[in-house]
Chain A
């Protein structure tokens, strides 16, 4: 059974903006999938649909085999406990220590103090930020803050991690570190769906990639295949940064994808 399944999903906001149009794909348990596309492509909307923060206008969104549209409001929190959410802006609590930021979700589960301490310390250690347990987020670098945000998601031991541009505020090296972390997580069996518009990351980590543009899913590229471009649209139009010329352009243009979305 796929962990995530979208069937002809469309989302139109009351303002009239069509964020997604007829998007269909599925993600199997244990997969690592990039959700790529320029700003405004619909990546965040898609992740918000999966978190049930938005409701699809058309189509079916199934998570863990359950149709979100048919889900009762009271069931949503229990569904979310299986999802680790990570954001570009970290969303850490500035007045809480790193330890407390990571522990914040564990109180929901009603765990004992000892269990909370054990889980948080283990997670901080795994992410190499255990020495910052008593520090406040403002005392940390962007990369370290993102690690704290990841720790907060992972400490809940989620079956699925949804990351919305987690490297958006980080430099290239830190971005690599973060994706490597997701890679390690994936290696342990966690399903990862990560939204990014960073072409370099897609190059560096050849994973299955769902390419969105203007709300359409224009490519579902399997893992291991080289990066692709939209033939008639320059890279800037997609909002993707130009990869370094030395290892980029020729390879990028080697694989083409259809410009028109399949409805």
Chain B
């Protein structure tokens, strides 16, 4: 190995040692900093998970959004097939399914409690042959649903066009709420990270204050900026890394526990999503970045 590489490696090792020494200059503050980073990281990860769950549920609801087109009794099979084909070619339509009068009756019966159904006389539950039109997820907006309903009503042989099981306005409201939630969560995440950045800067500033004399001496002895800054960057980045990765781990544990609890008590089939690989990758990069930014701010303020 060439001499510059050896010298550089020795300097790097020294910087790492000094950086870790910096962590214990004020152990209480370092711990508080790491805990605050972990809490912030955990909250951000959980927010992302629960927002993801909300999006998945909305998506599911959208998929279930369908218009039931009740047909007149005397419509011929060929006319029904033509009508279905007319609807199927529309870009906002996912699928078109024919329901016989019996199938419709069964669906209606399923909406009622079993004992009520049993007590009713035969034929009391209505049934009418119909066509179920399901929307593409991205097209399930009130406007498209309304447009399609209007269009369907204009077709020959159509008796009634029923509103979707979940009202379009409600879907739209849910989508808006989720979008609003996303914005709020993003703002909170930024505020939390800014707060933790404040913690990182505070801890590093304290380290620098405690080592001010040493740094001034090192300057006189010929230390470069890089030599003085390296331990600070290492300290900040290690704090950021440990804090955010710990936060991601906590979020993973909480998500798993929540899923287990919900599955056991409510029989929830839709788990809260948690994607370990991207989450830990973002925590690692974010932690290093946060620490580096904190070190840059602290050294710009205090480096002798």
Residues on A facing B (Cβ under 8 Å)? 51, 53, 74, 77-82, 85, 91, 93, 104-105, 107-112, 152, 156
Interface segment out of the listed B87-95, B152-160, B172-180, B213-221: B213-221
Given A80-B222, A110-B14, 16 additional A-B pairs, CB 8 A: A77-B223, A77-B224, A77-B227, A78-B222, A80-B221, A81-B222, A82-B222, A85-B220, A93-B214, A104-B217, A107-B10, A108-B11, A108-B221, A110-B6, A110-B7, A110-B8
Which A residues touch B221, using CB under 8 A? 80-81, 85, 104-105, 108, 152, 156
A237 to B11, CA, bound (A): 50
Q: In the complex, which of the residues A53, A91, A105 contacts B222, with contact meaning CB atoms closer than 8 Å?
A: A105
Which A residues touch B213, using CB under 8 A? 91, 93
Q: When A and B form their complex, what is the total count of cross-chain residue pairs whose Cβ atoms lie within 8 Å? A: 59
Q: In the complex, which of the residues B6, B8, B216, B222 contacts A108, with contact meaning CB atoms closer than 8 Å?
A: B222
Q: In the complex, which of the residues B11, B217, B224 contacts A74, with contact meaning CB atoms closer than 8 Å?
A: B224
Could you write out 21 A-B pairs with CB less than 8 Å apart? A77-B223, A77-B224, A77-B225, A80-B219, A91-B217, A93-B214, A93-B217, A104-B221, A105-B218, A105-B223, A107-B10, A107-B11, A108-B218, A108-B221, A108-B222, A108-B223, A110-B6, A110-B10, A111-B10, A152-B217, A156-B221
Question: What number of B residues sit within 8 Å (CB to CB) of A?
Answer: 19
Which B residues touch A81, using CB under 8 A? 221-222
Nearest A residue (CB) for B14: A107
Asked if residues B227 and A108 are in contact (CB atoms below 8 Å), the reply is yes
On whether A112 and B10 interact (CB within 8 A), knowing A78-B222, A80-B220, A81-B221, the answer reads yes
Task: Give min CB distance, B221 to chain A, whole Å.
Answer: 4
Q: In the complex, which of the residues A80, A110, A156 contacts B11, with contact meaning CB atoms closer than 8 Å?
A: A110
A78 to B217, CA, bound (A): 14
A51 to B216, CA, bound (A): 12
